[in-house]
Structure 1
Amino acid sequence: MIKKQFMMLIAIGLIAMSLSCGQEPSSISVSDTKAHKIDSLVGLYADYDGFNGSVLVAHEGTVVFKKGYGLANRSWEIPNTPETKFQIASLSKPFTATLIMQLVAESKLDLHEPISTYLPDFDNQYAEFITTHHLLTHSAGLSRDFNNTSQSNRPKDIIRDIAAMPMDFQPGDKFEYSNAGYDILGYLVETVTGLTYEEALQERIFDPAGMESSGYFRNRPIIKNMASGYYKGFGDYFNIELSNKSTAYASGGLYATVEDLFLFNQSLHDGTLLSEEQLKVMFDKQIPDSGYGGYYGYGWELLEKPIGNMGKLIETVGHSGAIDGFCSLYTYIPSSDTTIIFLNNTRRAFLNSMTTAIAGILYDEPYDFPKMPLAKFLTETIDQNGIEAGISFFKMNRDNTDYYLSEQELIVAGYRYLEEGQARIAANVFELSIDAFPDKDNPYDSYAEALMALGRNQEAIENYKKSLELNPNNRNAVEMLKKLEKL
C-alpha cells in the first residue's frame, strides 16, 4: 500500500512537470490536474476502508470532479456513482430551514412569535415561550431526541411525543442540538401550508431546483438507484436492520444524490428558492455552537475549516449527517463559490479529513494523504501468513508514522477472530491492544473474554479486575466476574 501511495504521488508530480514544460492547456488543464489529485486522494481513503460512497466537488461555481467509490449494494456488487441515492440524515435540516424561511418571506410565519400561535395543539407548557427562531437555532430547550412511544411515523404522533418531553433548559438560554426541534419545524410547515412535509419539499424545493433524484425516505417503497446502508465491522460489512426510518421526519428523513445536492446549492444562491436577503439571514451567525467551535445559523453550521495541513482556515457554511448505515457532509465556501459534497453508505467515514485535503488541493496548499490503518493491515497479515507474522508486523510498524493506530479498530479486529471461533488469535490481538493502550479498560475486558473462551478462567478474572480498576463503571466486567466466581 505504501508503494501504491508513492506511485500516485509520482504520477501527480509528472503531470505537474508536463504543465511546467509547456504542455498544451487543451491537453491537460489545471482543473484536470486538481481532479486527478482529488481522485488519487479519495481513492486511497476508499482503499483503506475510510470511504464508501460518492463525492462531488465544484470550484468557482463549476463542477471539477464527481465520482462514486465502493459499492452501493454489496450483495449484487453494484458500484456507487454520482447518480446513487443516499439517506442524508441531518443534512435534511437545511431543507427544513429553507421551507421555514420561504414561509417567513411570505408572511405566513414570524420567526419570533411563539409556536403556540401556529400550533395550538402542541400540548407543552413552554409552547408560549418557544419561537421558530429557537427551533431553527437549537436553542428551544428540547432534548436531542424523543421517545417514540408508538413507533409511529405519523407527524401528529411524533409531535405528541415531543410535547410530552421535559425541557432541558429555558428557551433561548443556549445552543443544544435537537432533532426534536426540527421535527416540530416540519409540523409547522404542514400546519401552515396545508401540505404534508413531503409535498411541501417537492413543490417548494425539489421541483423548482430540478432535483429529480431526491425525496423523503420510506423504507418499504422501492427507490430506484438507492444505496443500501451498512455497518462496517473490520474489513467486513453488515446489513443495517431494516426498519422504517421515516420517523426521522423533518430532522433527518431525506435522501438525495451528490448531483441533486449541488442543484440545491445552486438554487439557493441564484435566487430560485430564497431571496438574497433571506439567504443572508439563514447564513448569519445566530448562536455560538460550543461543541463545534463555531456558530449555527438557521439550519446551517457556520465553521472555520482548515485548508490543507498548514493551519490556514476559511469561513464555511454546511452541515453533516449520520444515521444507521449512512453519513454525509456538505461544505460550501462562499468566498470562492466552492462546494464539497460527500455521501457515504456506512455509518462512519473520514469525510472531514477528505474535505480538508480537497480544500488544500483547490487552493494549492499542501495536504495530507490518509495514514494507513494498522489494525486493517494486521488482520490482512494474519489471514495471509499467520498470527506470528501478524505480531511481528504489528511490532515493526506500531511507531511507523505512515500508519495510525486505533484502540477501537484493534478491539473489533480481535472480536472478528473470536466470533469465527479462533479464540487464540483473538487473545493475541487483544494482547497487542493492551500493549498499545495499557491505560484503557476495554482491551483488558476483551482479552478476558478471549481467555474465558480458551478455558483460562483465572487469567480472565485478573483481566476483568484490571478493567474494573481502570473503569469502575464497567458493568460487563462486574457481571462476568460474578459468573466466573460461580464456576
Structure 2
Amino acid sequence: MKIRAAIAAVLTALLLIGCGHAEARIGAKPPRDPVDRRIDAFLRRTLPDGPTGTVMAARGNKLVHCAGFHPRRAGNDCDTVYDVMSITKQFTAAAVLKLEAMGRLKVSDRLSTHLGADGAIVPPDKRGITLHQLLTHTSGLPEGLGDDYEPVSRRQLIQRALRADLRPDRGFHYSNLGYSLLAAVVEHASGLPYERFLATRLFEPAGMRHTGYVLPRWDRDKIAVEYDARGRSQGTPLDHPWADDGPYWNLRGNGGMLSTARDTFAWHRALSRGSGKGGVLPKAQLRKLFTPYVREPGGSGSYGYGWAFADTRVGRAAWHNGGNDWSFASTGRTITGDGITVFWVTNTAYRGGRWNLETLEEDITFGLANYLSRRS
C-alpha cells in the first residue's frame, strides 16, 4: 500500500477518476448515471489507449460524472467493484472515532489498554503507544511485517507487532501494521468482528451496499479483474488467499476493502451530514477526522486520521490513495469551498513500455479539478 506526497500539490480541487483494465464480463453501465461530456472527452484525450477504469466526480451533494472509460471494451461503470487498497484506512479511522462517540474508547487511550485486556503482554517500549499515534503513523512501528496474503491470524499479527523494533524517532512513518492493530482495537472495543462493525455502524447508515470484504452479496461478474504490468490476469481480489471472514491480518484494516464509485460518493455524502440522517459521525469526531496533526517529511502535506491534507487554491483538501503491484486508486474531497470530491481507480495501473498511470495522476487531477472548480 502506498501514498504519494506528490499528489498533495495536485489535489487542487480533488476528484474521483478511474483508470483500470476491467474484464469484459463486468456488467453494463446503468443508464441513468450522469456522464459529463467534457470530463469524458478530457479522459479520452489524456489517457493512453488500453487501460480502463471508473471515474466519479461530484460537487457538493450532486453527482456530476460516474462512468467508466473505454466502457465499450470493458463494461466498467459506476457499480464496478474494485479493491480500493489503502483508502481502507479512512474507514478504519472512522470506525475508531465512531467508537469514541459511543463512549467505548478515546483516541488518547494507550494501545495496551485494549490489547492488554485481550491477554496480550505489551512490552515496556510499546506501552505508551496511543491510538492517536497509530492513526497518524507516529507510533514508530514498521510499515509492515510480511506479504499481504500471508495467512496471519489476529493473534499472530499482534504478537509480531509487539516484538517488532520501533523506530528511534516518533515522527511520521507510514505504517500499515499500525492500522491492522487499530482493526484489532475496533474488535475489542465493539465486541464485533472488524467488518461487521463497519457494515452496521458506517456503511449501512451511509447507504453503501457494495463496500466490504465478504459481507456484501457480491455479484462476482461485477468485480474487476486485475492485471499486472505484463498484461497477465491476477484474478479478482477475492481470488487471492483470504481467510473465510476476509483478508488475513497483514492486510486487514489497512487495505483490501472492495467498493464502487457509487458507494464512494455515498461515503462522501455521509461525511458531509454529520450525525444527521445518512450521516455516520458527530461533528466533534468529524473535526478530528479532518484535522491535520503531523507534517509528512519531504513536502508541505500533513496527515490526520486516515487522510492526508494539502492547502489548495480552493481551500483545504483531504485525500488518500492506495496501490499494489497491479492497481491504483485515489480519492479526495475539499474541506472548504465548493465541496468538490473525486475518485479514480484502475486495476491495470502499469503496462511495461506503454503506460504507468501513476505518472499521469497530476495531469488528470489538475485538468478535472480545474474543470469542476469552474463549472457552475
Interval of TM-score (by shorter of Structure 1 and Structure 2):
0.7 to 0.9
Alignment of 1:203-214 (within 5 A): 203-214=200-211
Aligned to 1:473: none
What is the alpha-carbon distance in structure 2 between the residues aligned to residue 297 and residue 207 of structure 1? 25
Q: For 2:93, which of 85, 94, 97 is the aligned residue?
A: 97
Q: Hey, what does 1:371 align to over in structure 2?
A: none
- 8 Å CA contact retained: 1:315, 1:333: yes
8 Å CA contact 2:338–2:373 kept in 1: the answer is no
Match of 2:145 in 1: 146
Report what 1:304 is aligned to. 311
Q: Give the drift of 1:326.
A: 1.7
Report what 1:166 is aligned to.
Answer: 165
Opposite residue 293 of structure 2, the aligned amino acid is Q
Which runs of no fewer than 5 residues in structure 1 stay unpaired? 1-31, 306-311, 366-487
Residue 279 of structure 1 aligns with which residue? 286
The runs of at least 4 consecutive aligned structure 1 residues that moved more than 4 Å come to none
Partner of 2:300: 293
Pick one of 255, 258, 270 that aligns with 1:255.
258
- Amino acid corresponding to residue 262 of structure 2 in structure 1: E
Deviation string, structure 1 residues 85-116 (Cα, Å, up to 9, x no partner): 00000000000000000111122112122110
* Contiguous gaps of at least 5 residues in structure 2: 1-33, 351-356
Q: Which has the higher helix share?
A: 1
Alpha-carbon displacement from aligned partner over 1:444-480 (angstroms, at most 9, x marks no partner): xxxxxxxxxxxxxxxxxxxxxxxxxxxxxxxxxxxxx
Give the superposition deviation at 1:149: 11
- Provide Cα deviations, 1:192-224, integer angstroms capped at 9, x if missing partner: 111111111111111111111111169xx9745
Structure 1 residues 353, 244: CA separation in 2 closer, same or farther (over 3 Å shift)? farther
Q: Alpha-carbon deviation of 1:161?
A: 2.1
| 1:118-157 matches, cutoff 5 A | 118-120=114-116, 121=120, 123-147=122-146, 151-157=150-156
Equivalent in the alignment of 2:361? 351
Aligned residue for 1:362?
Answer: 372
Residue 224 to residue 189, structure 1, CA distance change in 2 (3 Å) = farther
- CA–CA distance in 2 between the matches of 1:292 and 1:146? 27
The CA RMSD over aligned residues, in Å, is 2.5
Whether the 8 Å contact between 1:118 and 1:192 is mirrored in structure 2 is yes
- Cα drift, residue 153 of structure 1: 4.3
Count of residues in Structure 1 that have an aligned counterpart in Structure 2: 315
Residue 240 of structure 1 deviates from its aligned partner by 2.6
Equivalent position SS for 1:80 = coil
Measured at CA, do residues 60 and 264 of structure 1 come closer, stay the same or move farther in structure 2, by a change above 3 Å?
closer
Q: Is contact 2:57-2:342 (8 Å) kept?
A: yes
Taking structure 1 as the reference length, the TM-score comes to 0.60
Range 121-130 or range 146-155, more displaced:
146-155
Alpha-carbon distance, 1:314 to partner: 4.1
Moved more, 293-302 or 142-151: 142-151
Q: 1:156 to 1:148 in 2, by over 3 A?
A: farther
Alignment of 1:53-132 (within 5 A): 53-70=53-70, 78-120=74-116, 121=120, 123-132=122-131
1:92 corresponds to which letter in structure 2? T
Shift of 1:139: 0.2
TM-superposition CA deviations, 1:212-257 (whole Å, max 9, x none): 1111169xx9745100111134xxx222375326231100020100
Matched, 1:338 2:340: yes
The structure whose RCO (Cα within 8 Å, separation 6+) is larger is: 2
**1:298 aligns to what SS in structure 2?**
coil
| Alpha-carbon separation, structure 2, partners of 1:253 and 1:227 | 13
